[in-house]
Amino acid sequence: MAKSGSEFVRTLRNKAKDGTLKNLWADWKWIWGFSRRRWGSVVLYTLFGILSSTLGLVAGVVGKYMIDAIIAMDLSRLGMYCVLTIISAVLGVAFQSLTSRFSAKLSIDMLGDVQGKVFSEVIHSDWSALSKYPTGELLNRFSGDIGTVASCAVSWLPGVIIQSFTVLATLGVILYYDPVMALIGCASTPLMFLASRSLLRKQRHHNQRMRQVSGDMSAFQSETFRNMDTLKSFGVEEQMERKLQQRQDDYRDTVLRYNRFTIRTNIWLTAMGTAVQYGAMAYCLWRLWRGDILFGTMTLFLQQRASLSSAFSSLVSLVPTALSGSVAAERIRELTELPKEPHYETPTVQGSCTLEAKQIRVGYNTQRTVLEDVDITAPAGQIIALVGPSGEGKTTLLRMLLGLIRPDQGSIQLIDETGSRYPVGADTRNCFTYVPQGNTMIAGTVAENLLLARENATEQELIEALNDACAWEFVKELPLGIHTPIGENGKGLSEGQAQRLAIARALTRRAPVMLLDEVTSALDRDTEQRVLENLCRRGVTTIVTTHRPSVLRMCSQIYQVHNGQVHPITHEQCDQQL
């Protein structure tokens, strides 16, 4: 025993060196932060559990005296014991029901607390840092890992307190009647201790691997379903099936490896537990044969020894629970600790705006520069174009204007009608509206999609935006007009209709600057021209990336993006290149 104790100390020392225990403590401090927010409910939940455990002990003791009274034919107290048994049973059911109901409410509230906190932290994270995580992985962490953290915040510490109380109280009852029996009941304690040491060593790695594999599968499925039309167009259904099978095989191997470890551990623990159980029974039968105890006492001993073993097992099971919660918390904390967007002061911009970028340089890493020495001016109320081959940095430039990406050097400023200058960043994002490439409609009604840009817009303002986007002509023919539901990614709409709705949503925002990323590609020339004329009429400063000559002819200035450089070119030069 001394050897195993020294080994455990050595294990803890090693884990302290490699940071495991430090990380475990940091993760659980973070989890307990949520528990403290609802400490009153957590304390009440713990008290309910202790009362339920106490009633179980009372019922066991009353049962002993009832059995002894029946065997001794002592009817004088039998009625009292029966009444106490019924009362303890009724109270036990009542407390179990209250605990279950209270636990459900507390779990829901705690889940909401964790989700709200994490969502707030993630949504305010720096875009560049957050974009490194696949959507499926983010969803996996936000659903599975947050659920684990919330469950631990509710039940882990109360579980430790309740099960510790049960162990001590049960041991006290047994000790009161027979110290030797109490010693036998504690015989399984070192076994559980050794098991917890083994689980501490294995469980954390297992949980990390399981969540990694699960996140990979979730990301794969999310991307597959999101790009189903593209995959079908390539005819790669069987290829995707093979890729899913590979991930399933990896998941299966991971689960089965841990399952094998669990089975071996359980076999050993069950064998040792059974030996202790039969040892206790043999001791009780020997005491009963000698006449030292009555049958009721023997029943109490065996019953409470089983309860003691069960409580020990529950305490040990909290070890892998703690490790699982730690792994989940670590994965969530990784998201919440992402760098946040810098905020200074939201400007009050007056009238139309001029956009001015000077000496801009941006790169995704130190080895690759995407744009360098960029100088761009977008005069108020005019349309300027960015042209150039795909992948040269046009979308990157738009993201910089939105403050999603910060330049490594240089400055980007908004200049309003009063001449006031505002550095572009997260705080000036309310001055911009952005229509990215692709279909960006969400499931809901037409109105709900438009109100996403400005939730207090009136119905008349929505119709005006639809008119200026040349979308009202088809929206008014829909069964319910602007209240007609549309599917995810605009299902039920043509690509051109979806593009016009996206432009209408941008116009609903009523921002002085609009960024359009190849968003008129699905429009016919006449519709495209009318939309752009309406933007000019509204006095919106517009920056558009495009390859279409019809759009370029309406632009006051054209900038070519090529080889990391941005240069103004004339319409004649642009026509020659196109």
- 221-243 confidence digits (pLDDT tens): 777 776 665 566 566 777 878 88
The 10s digit of each residue's pLDDT in 317-342 is: 777 778 788 888 888 998 888 888 88
464: pLDDT strictly greater than 90: yes
Q: How far is CA 318 from the centre of its chain?
A: 23
Count the neighbouring beta carbons within 10 Å of the beta carbon of residue 129: 14
Q: What average pLDDT score do residues 463-476 get? A: 92
The 10s digit of each residue's pLDDT in 151-209 is: 888 888 888 888 888 888 888 888 888 787 777 766 666 555 555 555 555 666 666 77
Q: What is the mean pLDDT of the chain?
A: 80
The pLDDT of residue 11 is 42
CB 107 within 8 Å of CB 154: yes
Measured between alpha carbons, how far is 131 from 26 in angstroms, rounded to an integer? 26
The pLDDT of residue 309 is 72
Q: What's the DSSP call for residue 339?
A: P
The pLDDT of residue 234 is 61
The 10s digit of each residue's pLDDT in 451-460 is: 988 889 999 9
Measured between alpha carbons, how far is 399 from 558 in angstroms, rounded to an integer? 19
Measured between alpha carbons, how far is 119 from 336 in angstroms, rounded to an integer? 9
The pLDDT of residue 4 is 39
Measured between alpha carbons, how far is 241 from 3 in angstroms, rounded to an integer? 52
The one-letter code for the residue type at 343 is: H
For the chain, what is the largest distance between any 2 Cα atoms, rounded to a whole number of angstroms?
115
CB 290 within 8 Å of CB 111: no
540 vs 284, more confident: 540
The pLDDT of residue 550 is 78
CB 312 within 8 Å of CB 188: yes
Measured between alpha carbons, how far is 330 from 45 in angstroms, rounded to an integer? 26
Q: What average pLDDT score do residues 307-313 get? A: 74
